[in-house]
Amino acid sequence: MRIDVSEEVFFHLGGLAHCLHAPSRISSTCKETNEKRFKDAYFATAKSVHDIFLGIQHPDLGRKRIKNPKPTHLLLALRFLKQYPTKETLAGFGGVTEKTALLRCWKYVEAIQALKEQKIVWLFGDTEKYQEVCVASVDGVHFCIWEPRKFPSAKWYSPKYKKAGLAYEIGVAVHHNKIVWVNGPFPAGENDKKIFDKPDGLRSKLKDGQQCVADQGYRGNLDKVVICNSRHDSQTKDVMERAKARQESVNSRLKNFRVLRMPFRTVGAQRLRKHKTVLEACLVIIQFELDNESRLMKV
């Protein structure tokens, strides 16, 4: 049996009050401003938060399923991803010790990540149902980390940030409102083409005749990648530019999460696993938003 909490409860009691807005201020402020405050704290709308709350109770999540979730605990985890406060600040919001606040956050973040199997799905294995040629756009995205001290190496160097980082390969459907692929993390020194060509890279998912729209970093894969050039007519160029704009929209939404925009604080053996957890959890949240009110532009 799933526990249900209405959107209104998330919005008014669990949401803005959790942000320390007084009830009188909430009631005297217009709905649009309250919604902006809610999204500023949690990225997602109350409807998406409600859907996530139901999703993390799904039996298919196995050991990561949360059987008796609490709205305030979910909101604390979403705030952790969006604002990336220190553990001391997080403890203050949760009204608990630093250790308890972090344990709660990671429990819920891992449950959100587990929804990836339902929300981030490669659609195009069924070529009878999906007969597009350009099925998705693909791009490599970098995120900052602290320089690994035990294993320092130039392989971590991100040319985008001029410091240590991690790279992920992300794919967005061209004709559907879906994020369909994520692969990583990899050391930021590995280029987009190398990641694409790995045995478990996006190239391995493409059937005969299927291609991805990409930028110049994917040159050398002309059988599987379409790159805009001067030989394309204006209509083709327009479609490809729109597909890449959709991709950049998803990339920019990821950077709205401060946990991904700032250098990731976790170090040591847990670093890669936990960064993958937060990245995939953020993508799941973005997909919930895409499934609700926030849609990508049409190609």
Predicted confidence (pLDDT) per residue in 112-127, tens digit: 999 999 999 999 988 8
Tell me the pLDDT band of 253, cut-offs 50, 70 and 90.
Answer: very high
Which of 114, 132, 166 delimits the end of a domain?
114
User: Across the chain, what does the average pLDDT equal?
Assistant: 90
Residue-range definition of the domain harbouring residue 161: 120-291
Same domain? For 214 and 137 the reply is yes
What percentage of the chain exceeds 90 in pLDDT? 66
Same domain? For 70 and 158 the reply is no
Give per-residue pLDDT as tens, 168-226. 999 999 999 999 999 999 999 999 999 999 999 999 999 999 999 999 888 877 789 98
Please indicate, yes or no, if residue 60 is contained in any of the structural domains: yes
C-alpha–C-alpha distance, residues 193 and 169, integer Å: 10
Tell me the pLDDT band of 156, cut-offs 50, 70 and 90.
Answer: very high
Q: H or E segment at 251?
A: helix 234-254
Please name the amino acid found at residue 207.
K
Residue labelled with tokens 């990583």: 184
Residue 233 pLDDT exceeds 80: no
Residue 272 pLDDT exceeds 70: yes
CB atoms within 10 A of CB 191: 15
When divided into structural domains, the chain yields a total of: 2
Strands 157-158 and 163-173: antiparallel
CB atoms within 10 A of CB 27: 9
Same domain? For 84 and 193 the reply is no
Q: What is the mean pLDDT of residues 244-270?
A: 95
3-class secondary structure, 135: strand
Strands 134-144 and 163-173: antiparallel
At residue 211, the pLDDT reads 93
Same domain? For 133 and 59 the reply is no
At residue 106, the pLDDT reads 97
| Omega within 30 of 0 (cis) for the link into 69 | no
Which of 93, 114, 135 delimits the end of a domain?
114
Please indicate, yes or no, if residue 286 is contained in any of the structural domains: yes
Give per-residue pLDDT as tens, 280-296. 999 999 999 999 978 89
At residue 8, the pLDDT reads 80
Tell me the pLDDT band of 298, cut-offs 50, 70 and 90.
Answer: confident
Residue labelled with tokens 């902006």: 36
How distant is the alpha carbon of residue 111 from its chain centre? Answer: 14
Give per-residue pLDDT as tens, 72-88. 999 999 999 999 999 99
Please indicate, yes or no, if residue 299 is contained in any of the structural domains: no
Same domain? For 92 and 133 the reply is no
Residue 16 pLDDT exceeds 70: no
Same domain? For 153 and 110 the reply is no
Q: Which residues of 55-81 are buried (b: 16+ CB within 10 A; e: fewer)?
A: bbbbeebeebebeebebbbbbbbbbbb
- Is the pTM above the cut of 0.85? yes
Residue 43 pLDDT exceeds 70: yes
Same domain? For 138 and 101 the reply is no
φ, ψ dihedrals at 157, nearest 5°: -70, 125
